[in-house]
Structure formats: C-alpha cells, structure tokens
A and B are shown apart, each in its own frame.
Chain A
Amino acid sequence: MSKAQSKPEGVTPSQTVGPYFAYGLTSNGKYDWNDAFSNNLVTADTSGERVRVEGRVFDGDGNPMVDCMLEIWQADAQGRFSDPQDKRALPNSSFKGFGRCGTDADGRYAFDTIKPGIVHDPDGKPQAPHLVLAVFARGMLLHLYTRIYFGGEAANTTDPVLVLVPVDRRATLIAQQAHCNGNAVYSLDINMQGDNETVFFDV
C-alpha cells in the first residue's frame, strides 16, 4: 500500500449511474448478492410514526423512468441523525436513516420509514419534517438533490427552505397523504421536466 497523494486538484467528476446498477446497488432478489440497502428503513427499535412514501418518476416526455435509483437520507423521529457527526444520543441505534430504491417497470418507487422529527437550520430555525432525496439515473451525469415534505404539516408554511421556493412550485416538494390502512401513505411524483417540474436544489 502506498501513500495518499498530496493536495488534489479537484474532485473526481461525476458520471452517470447508467442502466446496469441494479444488480450491484439495489436490493431486488434477482441476483445472488447480499443486499446492503433496501427501501425499508424501519428497524425493531425505531420509534415514530410509520409512513410509506411512494410515487413515480417521469422524464421530459412524461414517460416513466424505469431505471432510476433513488436514495433518501433523514433524521429519526427526534430529529437526530445516525452519523457520528451528530453528537446527540441515539436511542434507536439501529435506525440508519438511509434508504435506496430502484424504480420498477412503471417508474414507481416506495420507501417504508418513519416521519422524521424537527431539524434546525444553521440559524436555529426549525425546519418542517423532510427527507433529502437524491435522484440517479441513466441520462443523468450528476445526481440531483430534492426534498420530500409531508402534506398537512403546519410547519411547512414557515420552513426556511420551502420559503426559498416560488409559491407555485412548492407543491412539487410536498407529498400528499393518499390512503390510510394502518400506516399513513404519502404520495409524490418526481418530474424531471414539464409544467410540474420538480424543484431541485443547488447544494
């Protein structure tokens, strides 16, 4: 093993995830491979309100994107992150807060998780409950970041990130409660382009 190089000239550029990531990166049961990730974030010790977040992903022609990889990152129900950089105690220690899902033949995705708690912004202002969503696909040279908020949350009106978004585009970030048989189901489609083009963030 040799030494790390001196200061790099810049980051390694991003390239598309391509069409063939599924057998390596997502859980799908089709290949003889020990899945590292799934779209179910709920573990035995996870506290909080169970929710399913689901929807479909569409390209600029309105066709479903059947080869998307979506990743979510979120706080637990108390607003803490499963990351050593978050120094607060984490009683539900097996909750990782990370999920990965490949879209199906209809461009559909679904995550089973819990509604996250309040995370503050750098000024200490509370943010409304949200998931951070990263979108990867063939035809995307660099993934996109967006957020998923939860319809019906009073805090959405004062969320310091949502208020940066033009009023007529905020709906593209807020999942609406669909039906409820046992656990709450929230639905949000991702549109790469078009009248309802999803808001993506420059982060």
Chain B
Amino acid sequence: MTLSYPLQSLTAHPPRLSPGYKSTVKRSPTKPLIPMRHTLSELTGPVYGHETVRENDNDLTLQGKGEPLGERIIVHGHVLDEDGRGVPNTLVELWQANACGRYVHVVDQHPAPLDPNFTGAGRTQSDSEGYYRFVTIKPGAYPWGNHHNAWRPAHIHFSVFGHSFVSRLVTQMYFPGDPLFPFDPIFNSVTDEKARNRMVSDFDLENTQPDWALCYRFNIVLRGRNATPMETK
C-alpha cells in the first residue's frame, strides 16, 4: 500500500509559535520552513515489532510489587490513517503522571506523593487492524509554571510511529468534560474546535468492565491517505 502525505493535513496541528504557551516563544523557528518533495527518506519509517514490546508492557498496574493507587482505567482505540484504515503493528508508547498528578521524572518537583507501584510508562503494538489497549490509572491534574495558578488538565502522553517518518505523532489524550480545558494554553493551542476535540477521549460504557474499571476510547489518526496519480506527480 502506498500512501501520500499532503501538507494540508498539517493544518490541524497547533501553530508552533503559540505565545499563550510561553516556552514556544524561544523554541519555535523564526524563518519559514523550506518546502521539499518527500523522498524515500521521508516516506519510509522505523518498524518496531514484538522484540521491543514485552508482555504486560501495556498494563501499567502490573509494574510494581503491588497495585498502584488511583482509579484503574482501560484506554483503548484504533490507530488509523486519514482514510480510516487501521495502522497495523505500529508501536504505541504512553507516559503519564500518577493519580496525584506527579511524574516519576527527576525534574518533577510537584509536592504530591510518588507511588512506588507506578512508573507511568507503557507501550504496546497495534494489532493487525490497528487496535491497541492499555490498562492504567487515571492521571491527576498537575500545576505548572506557565502563568499564575496554571494547571494542566488530566492527560496521557502518546507517541506513535505509523507508516512513515512523516506520519510520526506525539500528542496528549484528554478526558471528557475536564473543567480545566478553557484555561490550558497547550490544549487550546489547537485553534480549530473540531480538531481540538479529537484529542479528547470518549467515555466507553460498552467496554467498561463491571466491578473492575472504567473505559475510555481514544482513536489516533495519523497522516497518510491513499495515493492518487494526481498527488504523486
């Protein structure tokens, strides 16, 4: 299958310079990016298979000696291309704060407790239809220094590869109805409301497991659509 990667797909992304998110000011280029045609270097990409992902890497509640604290959740969905086809066998990496809003990372100084039974890191490979599934703990909101009383809405970071190096995506999954949405410059850096809502997972009652865990569905749509002769000129 040959896919093309029109630049038009990139309009859903946030502008790199989004001054409400202060760190973008010194970390975004000032000169225009230079257009070029995709060569094989852009149209191919890394493939990481079963040798990378260990059994249970997708269950973040099994990494410690005991169960982590917090609300156990299932997060699942499909990795799709822009035509809605599943992206099979692609690596999905995830990292997140614990239930208290604290990351294991040494730089995180938020005075909330660490959980010895929770690293907050997981990974899996999508199946032949692009489906993936994680079991984890619902992350807490956490404060950050962007402006007075700044709090990030609860989110899970995702990193996905897809079919080529230009389909590479790092994003954040949010939870429906978060009251912090209107105040978060990172969430709102995506200016189009429909596009923004594609970062918000859906509560999934059908796949919620009785007496065990709530479920959220999060489909991840990567660049790439069917190549047509017009587009591959």
Contact B21 A5, beta carbon cutoff 8 Å: no
Residues of B within 8 A of A96 (CB): 46-48
Known: A25-B95, A136-B170. A20 touches B35 (CB 8 A): no
* A118 nearest CB across to chain B (Å): 11
Cβ of A11 < 8 Å from any Cβ of B? yes
Contact A13 B12, beta carbon cutoff 8 Å: yes
Cβ of A17 < 8 Å from any Cβ of B? yes
Residues of B within 8 A of A143 (CB): 168, 170
Partner of B27, one of A7, A22, A74, A139: A139
Residues of A within 8 A of B129 (CB): 4
> How far apart are the CA atoms of A22 and B190 in the complex, in Å?
25
> How far apart are the CA atoms of A10 and B6 in the complex, in Å?
12
Contact B14 A13, beta carbon cutoff 8 Å: yes
Please count how many residues in chain B sit with their CB below 8 Å of the partner chain's CB atoms: 98
* B24 nearest CB across to chain A (Å): 5
Contact A130 B41, beta carbon cutoff 8 Å: yes
> What are the interface flags for A1-22 relative to B under an 8 Å C-beta threshold, 1 for contact and 0 otherwise?
1101111111111111111111
- Who on chain B is nearest to A86 by CB? B44
* B215 nearest CB across to chain A (Å): 10
Known: A12-B171, A36-B48, A98-B46. A141 touches B36 (CB 8 A): no
* A70 nearest CB across to chain B (Å): 13
Contact B199 A141, beta carbon cutoff 8 Å: no
Please count how many residues in chain A sit with their CB below 8 Å of the partner chain's CB atoms: 79
> What are the interface flags for B96-140 relative to A under an 8 Å C-beta threshold, 1 for contact and 0 otherwise?
010000011111100000000001111100000111010000000
Contact B159 A25, beta carbon cutoff 8 Å: yes
* A45 nearest CB across to chain B (Å): 15
> How far apart are the CA atoms of A71 and B26 in the complex, in Å?
21
Which of A1, A63, A96 has the most chain B CB within a 10 Å cutoff? A1
Known: A10-B195, A11-B221. A22 touches B105 (CB 8 A): yes
Between-chain CB contacts (< 8 Å), 16 pairs: A2-B206, A8-B84, A12-B171, A14-B170, A19-B108, A24-B93, A32-B119, A61-B26, A73-B44, A73-B165, A81-B41, A134-B168, A139-B27, A141-B189, A145-B166, A202-B7
